[in-house]
Amino acid sequence: DVKVTQSSRYLVKRTGEKVFLECVQDMDHENMFWYRQDPGLGLRLIYFSYDVKMKEKGDIPEGYSVSREKKERFSLILESASTNQTSMYLCASSTPGRGLVQPQHFGDGTRLSIL
């Protein structure tokens, strides 16, 4: 089974701090994604990466950056945390479809609170 591991289940940080959320997958997947999940808004894509050192902005990249130095690890960085970034953050990974859409596999999420 695919295993996507997020480093923290719960995290509390203060406004202005630089926050790192880590995600590791063990299936050699090329694609990795970061979403945030808020009530009534569903899953919104922040950033994704389709290869090491490659990244693209999603729908809501403002206030975030990412790093992918190794294939198995994808980090989400909140440059200067703000209270409106309090949310559930979900990491996912998938293989390239090669003509067939491949499902994404999710981690258990990090519930981040910014005080």
Of 55, 78, 109, 114, the residue at the interface with other proteins (CB under 8 A) is 109
Query: Does the footprint of other proteins cover residue 97 (CB under 8 A)?
Result: yes
The residue (of 17 and 105) whose beta carbon lies closer to other proteins is 105
CB 76 → other proteins: shortest distance, Å? 15
Query: Does the footprint of other proteins cover residue 11 (CB under 8 A)?
Result: no
Query: Does the footprint of other proteins cover residue 31 (CB under 8 A)?
Result: yes
CA dihedral 33, 103, 10, 48 (to 10 degrees): 0
The torsion angles phi and psi of 95, rounded to 5 degrees, stand at -90, 160
